[in-house]
Structure 1
Amino acid sequence: MVDIQMEHAYLKEPTIFQNKKRVLLGETGKEKLPRYYKNIGLGFKTPKEVIEGPYIDKKCPFTVYVSIGGQILSGVVTKMKMQRTIIICQDYLHYIRKYNCFEKNQKNMSIHLSLCFRGVQISDIVTVGECQPPETCMIKHVTISAKISCQSAFLCDPFAHRTCYICHTEQPVHLLEN
């Protein structure tokens, strides 16, 4: 418990009582504190880091009473400069009826990155779930990250060369693994 106390405030899980009297039972004081975790559903498995890890995050959907009940989105990680927060970019096409064509748009979103996803890097494609907080704010949580390399970002002609939108290099498209 001492190694995770890096903040000025005392961090503790709200669902675990830490002041058990174990002296009368004759047990040693070196046992591990119990860990609360849950299955959030929607087809996402609870990561192993959540079950075994010592981190405390009051916005993590696996360890606290935060429910994922909104939209499930995906996007590319563009910035990781904030503490426990990442910026993802979501590309989409918007149809203009007057000109009978689509325009390419993008929007950036701030996402809370839980400490159980330590391997997320810039240019990874992540899947994000929206939580249901009070009406005053809207927080989105990374529920599971799926790393997709630059070579497998396209599903087109097997002999085509396209410019990758992640690393801006020209790469063959046929490197997709099934």
Structure 2
Amino acid sequence: MAEKKAQKKPVAPAASAKPVRSVARDVGIDVPIPTAPCADPKCPFHGRLPVRGQMLEGVVVSTRMQNTVVIERQYLRYIRKYQRYEKRTHRMNVHAPPCLGLQIGHRVLAMECRPLGKTVHFVAIHNQGVAG
């Protein structure tokens, strides 16, 4: 019997890394456009990620994930029985484009976008500096 040789498939040339986009696009929100360039495709300014819906503000409490930060929001909830308010805290995962340079303690403005992961549905659009 004749032996069959494995046919080699043609190899496509390796896709080059996307170039860093220096010109930022306007996302339609009244926030300053970051000056630092980035090559993140999930950046609303330098990538192709549209933003829509809710706009939330919080403080960065963790930066341990890759390109994602955990922000914490505090709000008051009214307890009718005691006619008082209680302070509540909510944590959420937010995508952090590298052009914003987010660190722990920074106050961040985040906006809703399409799901970027299992728990990530918001992207940071403005770094408001250290929370006071």
TM-score normalised by structure 1 residue count: 0.58
2:29 matched to which residue of 1? 42
1:144: how far off?
0.6
Could you tell me which of 98, 102, 109 is aligned with 2:85?
102
TM-score normalised by structure 2 residue count: 0.76
Could you tell me which of 89, 97, 104 is aligned with 1:114?
97
Aligned residues: 117
Q: Which amino acid aligns with 2:81?
A: K
State whether residues 88 and 110 of structure 1, in contact with CA within 8 Å, keep that contact through their aligned partners in structure 2: yes
Secondary structure of residue in 2 paired with 1:116: helix
Q: Which amino acid aligns with 1:142?
A: A
User: Is residue 121 of structure 2 the alignment partner of residue 139 of structure 1?
Assistant: yes
1:12 matched to which residue of 2? 18
CA distance in 2: counterparts of 1:39 and 1:80, whole angstroms = 26
RMSD: 2.5
Which structure would you say has the larger RCO, counting Cα contacts within 8 Å and 6 or more residues apart? 2
Secondary structure of residue in 2 paired with 1:88: strand
1:68 matched to which residue of 2? 51
Stretches (4+) displaced over 6 A: none
Could you tell me which of 33, 40, 61 is aligned with 1:78?
61
Secondary structure of residue in 2 paired with 1:147: strand
Q: Percent identity?
A: 32
Unaligned runs of 5+ in 2: 1-14
Could you tell me which of 68, 71, 74 is aligned with 1:88?
71
Secondary structure of residue in 1 paired with 2:58: strand
State whether residues 39 and 45 of structure 1, in contact with CA within 8 Å, keep that contact through their aligned partners in structure 2: no
